[in-house]
Amino acid sequence: MTSREIVCRAIEFDNPPRLPFWQHWNHKMPGFPDDVCNIWEMDRAEAGWFFDNAVKDDWGCGWSATDLKNIGQVTDCPLADWSALGTFRPPNPRNPFYYERLGPLIDAAGDRYVALTAHSLLFSRLHKLHGFAATMEDFYTEPGKIHRVLDMILDFKLEQCDELRRRFGNRVHGLFMTDDWGTQEGTFVSKKMLDEFFSPRYRKIFDAIHACGWHVILHSCGRVNTFVPTFLDLGADVLNMQQSRNYGLVEFGEQFRGKVCFLATVDIQSTLPRGIAAAVREEARLIVRHWSTPQGGLIAFDYGAWDAIGVRPEMPYVMFDEFARLQDYWSSQE
């Protein structure tokens, strides 16, 4: 069975023969399965990568880079002043630049599962354009303008999806997208606000992805427990969860396992940075036991940018080693 088939079976609860592994695109750990070809080309801007070049991206957002590779933040928002909205235009989602290097990378994937990563789905792109604090205020004071910007982002995403389908069709298997929705304690906004501004647009994007025959892979940091049922109802196939302890590991798994596939790592904020091998192994065991099912529903995930969060390089190896020991966990329970 190919790596692609193993990943698809895990996502679709179709009895994969083992636990699949998602290694980071530029941080491979030899000795473990490498089942996913994760391609980040969709985030490349014509001015350069935001983490290499502190310049404006194709949306007009000005980035400030940090002293850590692959880390940056928007410090110049093109729609900070609403007076710019009348002349603002998003980038062309059919610009050949965004797609010209994808073909060879997809070809090189071989029999692996191909996931294209395109960060900043809706909320993340919105506050990069308008500023985080201003966005939170203007949900209440300028909802019409917020809806207008979200429609621009939605149209871009839908056309981007269609262009990917036109160019690559079934050579792609999943789209990985990100919207960070939570703090350590809960979500930034209420469920009511999520449904008013975002849920209908999420559904359109997710439906378009499914119409291409691809999986919806959604990342969201923070304690987003209360939003998970909505994500599932809207059609998310995979949830990338990186803060397992923050969700309440056992309770969270018992509530949602079997309903969605988890793309999971040992907690990147607590367990891995502490660097205690026995604790890393124990948490990997808990994730397999409580987040997966005998039919599938779990992919072991490597965060990759470990130096940025203070994780010693041997800890991801310990994590993957334990996941590898557990890759036949459910068959051993029979």
Mean pLDDT by 10 residues, the chain (334 residues): 98 97 89 96 82 79 75 89 97 96 96 96 98 98 98 98 98 97 95 98 98 98 96 98 94 96 96 97 97 97 88 95 93 72
Distance of CA 25 to the CA centre of its chain: 13
**Structural domains for the chain:** 3-332 (3.20.20.210)
pLDDT at 55: 75
Q: How far is CA 72 from the centre of its chain?
A: 17
DSSP per-residue codes, 77-108: -TTSSGGGGGG-----TT-GGGTTTHHHHHHT
| C-alpha to C-alpha distance for 325 and 99, rounded to whole angstroms | 38
What sections of 131-247 are H helices per DSSP?
132-141, 143-168, 191-197, 199-211, 228-234, 244-247
Check residue 47 and give its pLDDT. 82
Rounded to whole angstroms, the Cα distance separating 29 from 31 reads 7
Structure tokens at 199: 């849920």
Quickly list DSSP for 304-316.
Answer: --GGGGT--THHH
The DSSP code for 300 is: E
- In one letter, which amino acid is 297? G
pLDDT at 44: 87
What's the pLDDT at 307? Answer: 83
Residues 122 and 108: their CA atoms lie apart, in Å, by: 30
pLDDT of residue 196: 98
The reported pLDDT for the residue numbered 50 is: 62
Task: Name every residue whose Cβ is closer than 8 Å to that of residue 22 and which is 6 or more positions away in sequence.
Answer: 7, 35, 36, 38, 115, 263, 299, 300, 301, 302
* Model pLDDT, residue 17: 95
The pLDDT assigned to 308 comes to 82
SS3 156: helix
